[in-house]
């Protein structure tokens, strides 16, 4: 599947966005273009929004091939990097609307945790929301989406490429609730 010109332009704009740069204790150190943060192995802030419907099914979506990290992977959460002038909650609301077209829903904050892989170092804030309306997928970032049980998403992640950072967020969410 070829990468569309719109995806290429979106990726270039995304790489240039100023995001929060933090230390290993989540203390702000400044703002840098997203690509610089990634290329230098520095730590940023990120949000994960687990979107459920009222039946308890989780929205999973597949990322476009133009994404800098995990292109074409399945993702159990909407979300992204926190902008230079945003709080975690502001970023979560913006990302949920951008990626899945969901707005005006209460976001429930669960926790923050540190995720550290050589190409992906970040402080993560986990949120959840419930939505029964239609999804409006952002074509530059999301190829497809569907609602599945959490158990199905976990089974699928054993055989399909899933984003390890959002799977970590899901596990943290589950651990905090006791059950899902």
Six-digit token pair at 39? 């290329």
Phi-psi region of 136 (alpha: psi -120 to 50; beta: other; left: phi over 0): beta
Domains of the chain: residue spans and CATH: 5-175 (3.90.79.10)
Look up the pTM and report it. 0.91
**Tens digits of per-residue pLDDT, 48-107?**
999 999 999 999 999 999 888 899 999 999 999 999 999 999 999 999 999 999 999 999
- CA proximity to 90, closest of 78, 107, 75, 112: 107
Rg (CA), the chain: 15
Residue 45 and residue 47: Cα distance in Å, rounded? 7
Q: Cα–Cα–Cα angle for 167, 79, 91, nearest 5°?
A: 140
Alpha carbons 53 and 146: distance in angstroms, whole number: 11
């Amino acid at each position: 599947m070829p990468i569309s010109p719109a995806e290429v332009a979106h990726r270039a704009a995304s790489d240039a966005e100023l995001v929060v740069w933090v230390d290993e204790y989540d203390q702000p150190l400044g703002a840098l273009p997203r690509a610089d943060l990634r290329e230098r192995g520095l730590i940023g802030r990120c949000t994960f929004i687990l979107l459920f419907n009222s039946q308890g099914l989780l929205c999973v979506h597949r990322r476009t091939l133009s994404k800098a990290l995990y292109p074409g992977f399945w993702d159990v959460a909407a979300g992204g990097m926190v902008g230079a002038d945003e709080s975690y909650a502001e970023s979560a609301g913006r990302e949920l609307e951008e990626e899945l077209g969901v707005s005006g829903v209460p976001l429930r904050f669960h926790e923050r945790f540190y995720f550290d892989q050589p190409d992906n170092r970040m402080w993560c804030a986990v949120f959840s929301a419930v939505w029964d309306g239609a999804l409006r997928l952002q074509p530059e970032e999301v190829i497809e989406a569907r609602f599945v049980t959490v158990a199905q998403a976990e089974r699928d992640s054993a055989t399909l490429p899933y984003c390890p950072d959002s799977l970590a967020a899901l596990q943290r969410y589950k651990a905090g609730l006791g059950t899902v």
